[in-house]
């Protein structure tokens, strides 16, 4: 049962953004900008592959602790170390996966448009996963019925616990889902920019662009970790991270214009070369 209509409506809007935005971008990239669908699919696979490596690596500190290798740091270093650790691991795993994806695509990733295609696949699948999880949570809250649950064999203690959790869910601020949607927009824009950096690393055979992608990824994720430790106000966090969103959009537009101009300049040269060969 819906107990908070404004919250429910905003959850639907957030889900629409989290799932609809990447799907729409993928269709636009494939249909209008003629990026091969395999580029977008490769982006999806690079994200999944990176997480297969990334998630186990996050357990290293726990494994070291169990082995008796405790690294004791001053308390004032704790958050900074955690931010660096999480940011670098995420950057190394995801940007390396992106680099492998471009190498595997070969000529299909030659166009600068493919940087956007792989970025949409990579960041888009993450956004869709988040949207599906949120949708499942909303459906659970709407459809749960204590009487029916008890009749189906759920213990009284579990019914009470679930009812309390759902009541907590509906008591959330009405604008909470929108913060999640803003976070996904910021994340997808960053994934597009980092895909551009790695595309440049592959096309120009320069490790500097790869390192820039890893560094930018670490900076973004590390900033999010530090902000979360400093405040529980999610709108303050999203406002600071919006700085990254603005930077992402500006750099993406500059990259698109530059590469498109260079592509147009190459067309006459290629035409003359073709005529001379005939």
48: in domain: yes
- For residue 278, what are its two tokens? 């005939």
- Judged against a pLDDT cut of 80, whether residue 226 lies above it is answered with yes
Q: Phi and psi at residue 144, in whole multiples of 5°?
A: -65, 130
Q: Which residue has the higher pLDDT, 147 or 75?
A: 147
Decide which of 26 and 266 is more confident: 26
In a domain, 261, yes or no: no
Confidence (pLDDT) at 70: 66
pLDDT of residue 273: 52
In the chain, the number of structural domains is 1
Question: So what's the pLDDT on residue 265?
Answer: 81
The answer to which of 199-203, 213-217, 231-235 has the lowest mean pLDDT is: 231-235
Residue 25 has pLDDT above 90, yes or no: yes
Quote the domain boundaries for residue 15: 5-251
The pLDDT, as a whole number, for residue 218 is 96
CB distance 54 to 94 below 8 Å: yes
For residue 267, tell me if it sits in a domain.
no
State mean pLDDT over 217-233.
93
Is 272 within the bounds of a domain?
Answer: no
Q: Kindly tell me if the per-residue pLDDT of 88 is higher than 80.
A: yes
Say if CB 70 and CB 163 are below 8 A apart: no
Residue 271 pLDDT exceeds 60: no
pLDDT of residue 269 exceeding 70, the answer is no
Q: Which of 11-25, 59-73, 90-104 has the lowest mean pLDDT?
A: 59-73
Chain segment 37-54, per-residue pLDDT in tens: 999 999 999 999 999 998
Residue 235, in any domain of the structure? yes
- What pLDDT is stored for residue 278 in this prediction? 53
**Torsion sign, CA atoms 264, 265, 268, 269:** negative
pLDDT at 277 over 80: no
pLDDT band at 152 (very low <50, low <70, confident <90, very high): confident
- Note whether residue 144 is domain-resident: yes
Position with higher pLDDT, 83 vs 78 = 83
- In this predicted structure, what is the pLDDT of residue 263? 83
pLDDT averaged over every residue in the chain: 90
Q: What are the DSSP calls for the chain, one per residue?
A: --S-HHHHHHHHHHHHHHHHHHHHHHHHHHHTS---HHHHHHHHHHHHHHHHHHHHHTTHHHHHHHTT------GGGHHHHHHHHHHHHHHHHHHHHHHHHHHHHGGGG-STHHHHHHHHHHHHHHHHHHHHHHHHHHHHHHH--HHHHHHTT--HHHHHHHHHHHHHHHTS-TTHHHHHHHHHHHHHHHHHHHHHHHHHHHHTT-HHHHHHHHHHHHHHHHHHHHHHHH---HHHHHHHHHHHHHHHHHHHHHHHHHHHHHHHHHHHHHHHHHHHH-
pLDDT > 60? residue 56: yes
Confidence of residue 166 (pLDDT cuts 50, 70, 90): very high
In a domain, 264, yes or no: no
> Is position 274 within any domain?
no
Q: What is the pLDDT of residue 92?
A: 95
> What is the rounded end-to-end Cα distance, in angstroms, of the chain?
73
């Amino acid at each position: 049962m819906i107990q908070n209509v404004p919250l429910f409506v905003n959850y639907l809007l957030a889900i629409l953004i989290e799932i609809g935005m990447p799907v729409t971008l993928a269709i636009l990239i494939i249909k209008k900008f003629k990026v091969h669908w395999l580029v977008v699919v490769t982006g999806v696979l690079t994200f999944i592959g990176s997480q297969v490596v990334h998630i186990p690596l996050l357990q290293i500190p726990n494994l070291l602790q169990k082995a008796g290798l405790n690294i004791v740091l001053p308390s004032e270093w704790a958050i900074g170390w955690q931010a660096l650790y999480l940011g670098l691991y995420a950057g190394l795993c995801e940007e390396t996966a992106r680099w492998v994806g471009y190498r595997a695509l070969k000529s299909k990733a030659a166009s600068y448009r493919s940087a956007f295609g792989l970025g949409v696949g990579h960041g888009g699948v993450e956004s869709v996963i988040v949207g599906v999880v949120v949708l499942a949570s909303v459906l659970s809250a709407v459809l749960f019925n204590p009487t029916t649950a008890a009749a189906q064999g759920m213990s009284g203690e579990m019914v009470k616990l679930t009812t309390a959790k759902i009541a907590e869910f509906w008591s959330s601020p009405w604008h909470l889902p929108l913060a999640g949607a803003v976070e996904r927009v910021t994340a997808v824009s960053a994934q597009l920019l980092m895909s551009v950096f790695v595309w440049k690393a592959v096309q120009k055979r320069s490790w500097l662009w790869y390192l820039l992608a890893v560094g930018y990824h670490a900076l973004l994720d590390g900033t999010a970790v530090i902000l979360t430790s400093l405040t529980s106000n999610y709108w303050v966090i999203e406002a600071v991270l919006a700085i990254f969103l603005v930077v992402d959009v500006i750099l993406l537009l500059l990259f698109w214009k530059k590469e498109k101009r260079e592509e147009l300049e190459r067309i006459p040269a290629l035409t003359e070369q073709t005529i001379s060969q005939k």
